Amino acid sequence: MSKSKAKKAKAADKAPAEDKAKVQSEAEMKAAASAEASQQEVGDVLRVQSKAEGFRRAGIRFTAAQETVLPLKSLTKKQIEAIHSEPMLVVIDQE
């Protein structure tokens, strides 16, 4: 096997592990955000639900199955604007 084929095979072996780590990292971030949000006042969070399953905007994954609770202090102004202006997302409340 040539060196380039060996490198490609090795990179392909790493890809599933990297994908798994990325999904796990996203899940951990979402769980931490939800835990932190539950300790905050209602006005300090943005509650968002997607119209489509697995929709992404502003670097965040949203689901149709349940709302995503985002602490406002963890979002940039650009992210908040992108979420509010996205027709595929429904901001449930922001008091």
Neighbours of 75 (CB within 10 A): 19
Q: Which amino acid is at 6?
A: A
The pLDDT-based confidence of 92 (bands split at 50, 70, 90) is: confident
Q: What residues does each domain of the chain span?
A: 3-93
For the stretch 65-90, pLDDT in tens is 999 999 999 999 999 999 999 999 99
Show the 3-state SS of 10-65.
Answer: HHHHHHHHHHHHHHHHHHHHHHHHHHHHHCCCHHHEEEEEECCCCEEECCEEECCC
* Average pLDDT, integer, range 1-12: 61
Q: Which tokens in the block code for residue 8?
A: 């490609």
